[in-house]
Chains A and B, each alone.
Chain A
Amino acid sequence: MNSYGKIPFHLLFISDRRLSDKSLVSIVKSAFSNGLKAVQMREKDMPAGDLLKLAVKIGSVTKKYNAILIVNDRLDVALLSKADGIHVPVNGMKIDCTKKFTKGLILGKSVHSLGESVKAQKEGFDYLLFGPVFRTPAKIKFGKPQGLEKLKQICSMMKIPVFAVGGITPKRAKKCLNAGAYGVAVIRPILKSYNLARTLKQFENEMGEL
């Protein structure tokens, strides 16, 4: 069980610093000051030493704003940066052999099917990231998006929160919530925004809360 009870965010920002000219720390600061509540650090190409330094920096920002830091894949970096959670990709660590190290952490898991969702819920994950729901540049190589119907089906069968990911815009975020999603996860809408205050306001307007 994580130390947070209910997942305290509905809009999850997943990072990819290569998509922006600005520093990730400055983007995160600006996003948090405009109402964002959670970031998942996913910087796959970074050596672990740099990744840890960046996670510590971002962690100090999340603490200041009382927001949530989730680290992708690397449990060592998550633990050392005192992150709030760890996100496990599809080919990530098995949770059964890691439970004694993940106490108190929010545990997220990427899933692409109902079968994977059922399994992840059973294993004790706190939330699921399901997608790609819509077409997205990052996942084009994996073929057709999953669509809202499939999202709806999975949400109706899960007890734990499901976040929709892939091609999410403010309008589509609302559709995902209507389909039963607890929240949505986005990369480009934050990293490519010219006006984070406006972007986040649009999400808030459609979603009710961030």
Chain B
Amino acid sequence: MKPAIGKLCVITDTAIQHKYSHYEIAEMAIDGGADMIQFRDKVMSTGEMINTAFQLRELCSRNEVTFIVNDRVDIALISGADGIHLGIEDIPIADARKLLGKSKIIGGTAHSLSEARKAEQMGADYIGYGHIYPTQTKSRTTKPKGLKKLAEVSAKIKIPLIAIGGISPDNAGQVINAGAHGVAVIGSVLKNANPRSAVEKLRNIIYA
């Protein structure tokens, strides 16, 4: 059976902050109530990534939290992750499916309705859609999508939509009300003085 697609996904980003390791972020996030962890690192060597992925795999399994790897289909495969999240420039969804099979989750990034539909057609299990609000995690030249577009996209696709970009306890309720299945967070949690409680606040809103 395919693992559950989480409603509160914390992305382990060690580029926007240097205080916490991937494992520490995942521990705090799970402790605060995250139900999905996405391991993302663009600079680690493959060897280091595999070691970290095995550790996260074990941590997530033990806590029954869904474990997703960003970009690296090979590392998802080798570590036995629950799935992969693929950006627009990553390996195409249909190709990733060939390697991972039907039992794994494949998420695809979309910045528009047409990208969301394309990802759905290629066999994605969920869409990561954004950025919804202004965000500092990634330098963006495009405008935030806002709630109206979020509502439109989530209404027009059949698979779950996970909203990303500038989501915090202040706006997570609206995002869910607009039709998002869940949210993915980085900055609002990792730049918070207390990441665990930031996750907990989000959890209480999303699962209200």
B99 and A79: CB pair below 8 A?
yes
| B120 CB-CB contact with A under 8 Å | no
Chain B residues near A91 (CB-CB < 8 A): 45-48
Identify the closest chain B residue to A73 (Cβ): B46
| Nearest A residue (CB) for B71 | A48
Interface majority SS (helix, strand, loop, mixed), chain B: helix
| A76 contacts B by Cβ under 8 Å | yes
Q: Mark A30-58, 1 if CB is under 8 A from B, else 0.
A: 00000000000000000111101000000
Among A47, A77, A79, A94, which residue has its beta carbon within 8 angstroms of that of B50? A94
Say yes or no: is A8 at the interface (Cβ < 8 Å to chain B): no
Number of B residues, CB within 8 Å of A: 22
Q: Whole-angstrom distance from the CB of B122 to the nearest CB of chain A?
A: 12
Q: How far in angstroms is the closest Cβ of chain B from A139?
A: 17
Q: When the two chains form the complex, which single residue of A76, A77, A89 contacts B45, counting CB atoms closer than 8 Å? A: A89
In residues 55-84 of chain B, which contact A (Cβ within 8 Å)? 71-74, 77-78
Enumerate chain A residues within 8 angstroms of B88, measured Cβ to Cβ: 49
| Interface assignment of A97: CB less than 8 Å from any CB of chain B | yes
Q: Indicate if the CB atoms of A49 and B92 lie closer than 8 Å.
A: yes
Q: Does A80 contact B (CB under 8 A)?
A: yes
Question: A80, B98: Cβ atoms under 8 Å?
Answer: yes
Q: Is the CB of A76 within 8 A of B91?
A: yes
Which residue in chain B gives the minimum CB-CB distance to A98? B78
From known contacts A93-B78, A101-B78, infer whether A80 and B89 are also in contact, taking CB-CB under 8 Å: no
- Docked-complex contact B91 and A80, CB < 8 angstroms: yes
**Interchain CB contact under 8 A, B89 and A75:** no
**Which interface residue of B54, B71, B90 has the most chain A CB atoms within 10 A?**
B90
Whether the pair B91, A77 counts as a contact (CB closer than 8 A) is yes
Q: Nearest Cβ distance between residue A96 and chain B, in whole angstroms? A: 11
Smallest Cβ-Cβ distance to A56: which chain B residue:
B95
- How close is B36's CB to chain A, nearest CB, in angstroms? 21
> A49 and B45: CB pair below 8 A?
no
* Bound-state Cα–Cα, A98 to B87, Å: 24
Known: A76-B74, A80-B99. A48 touches B91 (CB 8 A): yes
Task: Scan residues 75-112 of chain A and give those whose CB is less than 8 A from a CB of chain B.
Answer: 75-77, 79-80, 88-89, 91-94, 97-98, 101
CA A98 to CA B89, docked complex, whole Å: 25
Docked CA distance A40–B96 (Å): 22
A17 at the interface (CB under 8 A from B): no
Q: For B92, list chain A residues within 8 Å (CB).
A: 49, 52
The 8 tightest CB contacts between A and B, nearest first, are A91-B45, A47-B89, A75-B74, A76-B74, A76-B73, A91-B47, A92-B46, A48-B91
